[in-house]
Amino acid sequence: MKRADLRRPHPPSDGAQGVTDKPIDPPPSAKARHGLLVEPDRARRMRITATLMLVAMAGLFALAHSQEGVHPAWGYVMAFAEAALVGGLADWFAVTALFRHPLGIPIPHTAIIPKNKDRIADTMASFLRRNFLTPHVVARRMRDMNVAKSAGSFLVEQREGDLGRVRAGAVELLVDLLESLDPERLGKQVRSGLARQAEKLEVSPLLGKMLESAMADNRHRPLIDGMVRWAGLTLEDNEDMVREMIRQRANALLRWTGLDERLSNSVLDGLYKLLAEILVNPEHPLRNKAEEGLAKFAQDLQHDPELRAKVERAKADLLANPALAEWWMGVWERLRHSLIDMARNPDAAMQGQLGSSIRELGETLRSDPALQLQVNRLARRTAVGVAQRYGEQIVRLVSETVKGWDAQTITDRVEGAVGRDLQFIRINGTLVGGLVGVTLHAILQVI
């Protein structure tokens, strides 16, 4: 069984495809954390308060009406209660009509939000597109943001809470990706991609430029010194073969007199002396000849069609060699396991070289104005490009998601978001209505 089969299934997402009539509710803690229900207890308390105030005004109106002739002050109380009752009932009707039919009666122009949810979805999407996802709006907002400095400060400060959340998400994503995909298939795909890029790259001019640049900075001299030392060590390891070659080529008289041995020693001593002189003398003629040969080789790598063709054939043979494929698969497996181990043990990685590198990057981002300018410009261009290319898809996702909700879902979510404020409207309407009623009653008494 694959590891992916053991994962906890995820509920289908709201969208254009597979929209369910009733969205799957997250756990209560997740609702409170993500704002799907905005303080339902407080909204319910405000609704109860507004309703009790309305009931209190009705009771006060009945009491004042029964005591109307007892004292003139009861007239003011009755005017206040009557106007407050009317204002509270009017605002209750208005608030209720937004989400449902008051008292279940299908009065025209009530239950406005459920009936017009598709139009609301299109309006929301259009508002989002015009005011947030246009390139010039995104560019203007991004121009005032120093993304690089903020990212640098975050990397340097590394507050444990913020870093832990970001790191946990990144670790889970990376480990799932590296473990769920077929390692051999992924390694072959990466190798094929690198091979295709290498096939497109003509390496001969590149090698010629590199050699030419190295000679211009005198970085080729250690190469020549290494070749001279290699020649001396090779000669030392093969002295017997050299002596045998000289003896076989000497005539019988030299062998009979033993001069072949002296001749071999002289030849070997001369070669050792020559190699030593080349090694210690930067201006030795043979060294200059070698440098001339390297310079010509660098030019030929860049301009000689025949040599360039040979280098390209050698490159093709190397890429087609099975040994290279096996070597790459070994490198890829070691790299993959190293990434998994580092992701599973992020604390050790953050405390080591990776942590130091991240902090150094953060310091550079936070203190280098030139780098900040480049990073902020790249971020602004990226955000503008995303808004320009994918703005329509984003707003379409918003519109289709809202359209996919049923009437009860959109009613609950909108009412949960603004319900507490709407109950304040009812309370204010009751109080303001009462004050208006008292004012009108006082004016009538004066007149």
pTM of the predicted structure, to 2 decimals: 0.41
Same domain flag for 253 and 328: no
Residue 34 has pLDDT above 80, yes or no: no
Question: What are the b/e assignments for 293-332, b being 16+ CB within 10 Å?
Answer: ebeebbebbbebeebbeebeeebeeeeeeeeebeebbeeb
Residue 257 has pLDDT above 70, yes or no: no
Residue 38 has pLDDT above 90, yes or no: no
Residue range 42-51, pLDDT digits in tens: 778 888 888 9
| Domain carrying residue 436 | 35-115+405-446
Same domain flag for 311 and 275: yes
Range in 12-16, 143-147, 290-294, 408-412 with the lowest mean pLDDT? 12-16
Residue 359 has pLDDT above 90, yes or no: no
Number of H helices and E strands in the chain, helices first, is: 21, 0
Same domain flag for 264 and 283: yes
Q: Which of 54-63, 109-118, 122-131, 210-219 has the highest mean pLDDT?
A: 54-63
User: For residues 90 and 436, is the Cβ–Cβ distance under 8 A?
Assistant: no
Same domain flag for 306 and 329: no
Same domain flag for 294 and 255: yes
Task: Determine the pLDDT at residue 187.
Answer: 67
Range in 8-12, 226-230, 408-412 with the lowest mean pLDDT? 8-12
Residue 388 has pLDDT above 50, yes or no: yes
- Look at 230 and 252; give whichever has higher pLDDT: 230
The residue type of 151 is A
Residue 157 has pLDDT above 50, yes or no: yes
Domain boundary among 320, 341, 376: 320
CA distance 23 to 102: 26
- Look at 259 and 239; give whichever has higher pLDDT: 239
Domain boundary among 285, 320, 355: 320
In a domain, residue 60? The reply is yes
In a domain, residue 16? The reply is no
Domain boundary among 341, 367, 393: 367
In a domain, residue 381? The reply is no
Residue range 268-296, pLDDT digits in tens: 888 888 888 888 888 888 888 888 888 88
CA distance 96 to 423: 10
Question: In the predicted model, what is the mean pLDDT of residues 36-64?
Answer: 80
- Look at 280 and 194; give whichever has higher pLDDT: 280
**What is the number of structural domains in the chain?**
3
Task: Determine the pLDDT at residue 314.
Answer: 87
Task: Determine the pLDDT at residue 349.
Answer: 53
Question: In the predicted model, what is the mean pLDDT of residues 8-15?
Answer: 40
Question: In the predicted model, what is the mean pLDDT of residues 330-350?
Answer: 69
User: For residues 317 and 311, is the Cβ–Cβ distance under 8 A?
Assistant: no
Same domain flag for 332 and 228: no
pLDDT band at 432 (very low <50, low <70, confident <90, very high): very high
Range in 292-301, 308-317, 349-358 with the lowest mean pLDDT? 349-358
In a domain, residue 351? The reply is yes
The whole-chain average pLDDT of the chain stands at 76
Task: Determine the pLDDT at residue 55.
Answer: 92
Same domain flag for 214 and 315: yes
In a domain, residue 393? The reply is no
In a domain, residue 234? The reply is yes
Same domain flag for 70 and 110: yes
Task: Determine the pLDDT at residue 24.
Answer: 41
pLDDT band at 238 (very low <50, low <70, confident <90, very high): confident
Same domain flag for 110 and 65: yes
Question: In the predicted model, what is the mean pLDDT of residues 210-235?
Answer: 84
Same domain flag for 210 and 309: yes
Same domain flag for 204 and 315: yes
- Look at 384 and 343; give whichever has higher pLDDT: 384
The overall longest dimension of the chain from CA atoms, in Å, is 160
- Quick one: tokens of 220? 């080729």
Task: Determine the pLDDT at residue 439.
Answer: 92
Residue partners of 147: CB distance under 8 A and separation at least 6: 375, 376, 379
CA distance 411 to 100: 8
Residue 380 has pLDDT above 80, yes or no: yes
CA distance 336 to 10: 27
Same domain flag for 167 and 70: no
Task: Determine the pLDDT at residue 242.
Answer: 78
Task: Determine the pLDDT at residue 15.
Answer: 37
Residue partners of 242: CB distance under 8 A and separation at least 6: 235, 264, 267, 268
Range in 146-150, 287-291, 402-406 with the lowest mean pLDDT? 402-406
In a domain, residue 227? The reply is yes
Task: Determine the pLDDT at residue 27.
Answer: 43
In a domain, residue 283? The reply is yes
Task: Determine the pLDDT at residue 1.
Answer: 37
Residue 351 has pLDDT above 90, yes or no: no
Residue 31 has pLDDT above 50, yes or no: no
